[in-house]
A and B are shown apart, each in its own frame.
Chain A
């Protein structure tokens, strides 16, 4: 899921 990929950043 692309959306979660960025959400692992602070």
Chain B
């Protein structure tokens, strides 16, 4: 464990807590994409298949349970909670996220480190996570007013993977033959997808204005 990875995990934890807090306290999911939340639930389900069979550490298991629990409960809130679901903007959240799942699955079947069920599912979760934010970014472009919590959620979600990239650089230089191209490339693509959001987020922060993305 290095500082970059710990910072990345904490940033990721904060992003899901910010979102859960928003939905649970103000009972609203305005501006939040259900599609992205469903993709993330799928990412964690595919990645943490061995949560009970491959014990690594208490920290690792607890964090996996938190990520699984939070992502599925956010999906539950947005789909079934009678108050929260009313604030879900399904007419705007129209990204066909099923078109993301299949290509990622096919790619995982073609490009992976080992052709086993667990490894292919793990690789699938990497590719899917890289594109899971797209429905949310599209929704932000459409809904003019981006409330602070949603903006912070997306920012933290992007920052966590950027910190993971620093973690991979650190591990590359400190651990012998630590080479994982698949993870590095998908992590880089994921972070680059946030590039323009980061730019506008920083601009709004610098000029102390409300965050708005150009149409």
Contact = CB atoms under 8 A, between A and B. Distances in A.
A6 B63 CA distance: 16
Interface residues of B, number: 22
Contacts, number: 26
B82 interface: no
Given A7-B50, A8-B57, A10-B67, 5 more contacts: A3-B114, A6-B180, A7-B56, A7-B122, A10-B9
A interface: dominant SS: helix
Interface of A: 2-3, 5-10
Contact of A7 (B5, B54, B175): B54
B175 A6 contact: no
Interface of B: 5, 9, 12, 50, 54, 56-57, 60, 63-64, 67, 113-114, 119, 122, 164, 167, 175, 177-178, 180, 183
B interface: dominant SS: helix
Contact of B63 (A2, A3, A5, A10): A10
11 contacts: A2-B177, A3-B113, A3-B114, A5-B175, A5-B178, A7-B54, A8-B56, A9-B5, A9-B167, A10-B12, A10-B67
